[in-house]
Amino acid sequence: NEESIFRTKQAEHESRSAKAESGCEVLEPLITSLEKREGDARTAVPRIEQEISEAESQLSQLDSSSFSDEKIKEQIAEEQQQAESLSQRYGSDIVDLNASRKQTQMWKSLVTMFEAKIAIANKETGLEDEHPLGD
């Protein structure tokens, strides 16, 4: 009778041991995967912290920039008025078509640059499309 109990206990032990071994085999790839993800996360954290620091620095520069949206819009309007004034004043005197094209392109580039700066400032402050140019 004791031998029967011993065999039963031994069979139960072997069954549990096999289940534990099987469970370990399933867990090993998961553990390896988690360890890899942990390593990736540890290397990503300093990079992300650096990116956050750079973004905060850029935001601080935008906030402390001497160019507010209104100042930029005023400057664009002044430059456009000056361009129109020059065009009216010297329009009939401009003979060189290439010089005229270059001047026009320069003004368009300047307007595009200021519009982009306004868009960036609006995006950073969450004021996108609140006051689109031309309104």
Span 40-52, pLDDT tens digits: 888 888 888 888 8
Instruction: Tell me, yes or no, whether 19 and 35 share the same domain.
Output: yes
Q: What is the pLDDT of residues 69-127, one digit of tens each?
A: 777 778 888 888 887 777 777 655 555 666 777 778 888 888 888 888 888 888 877 66
Instruction: Tell me, yes or no, whether 122 and 75 share the same domain.
Output: yes
Looking at residue 12, its pLDDT comes to 93
Instruction: Tell me, yes or no, whether 83 and 125 share the same domain.
Output: yes
Q: What is the pLDDT of residues 3-58, one digit of tens each?
A: 899 999 999 999 988 888 888 787 888 888 889 988 888 888 888 888 888 888 87
Rounded to whole angstroms, how far apart are CA atoms 115 and 126?
A: 16
Instruction: Tell me, yes or no, whether 4 and 60 share the same domain.
Output: yes
Contact (Cβ atoms closer than 8 angstroms) between residue 79 and residue 133: no
Contact (Cβ atoms closer than 8 angstroms) between residue 121 and residue 62: yes
Model-wide pTM > 0.85? no
Q: Structural domain of residue 31, as residue ranges?
A: 1-64
Instruction: Tell me, yes or no, whether 36 and 72 share the same domain.
Output: no
Looking at residue 9, its pLDDT comes to 92
Instruction: Tell me, yes or no, whether 40 and 80 share the same domain.
Output: no
Contact (Cβ atoms closer than 8 angstroms) between residue 130 and residue 122: yes
Looking at residue 97, its pLDDT comes to 65
Instruction: Tell me, yes or no, whether 85 and 112 share the same domain.
Output: yes
Instruction: Tell me, yes or no, whether 133 and 77 share the same domain.
Output: yes
> Up-side HSE of residue 67: CA atoms within 13 Å toward CB?
16
- What is the tally of structural domains in the chain? 2
Instruction: Tell me, yes or no, whether 21 and 79 share the same domain.
Output: no
Looking at residue 94, its pLDDT comes to 52
pLDDT for residue 132 is more than 60: no
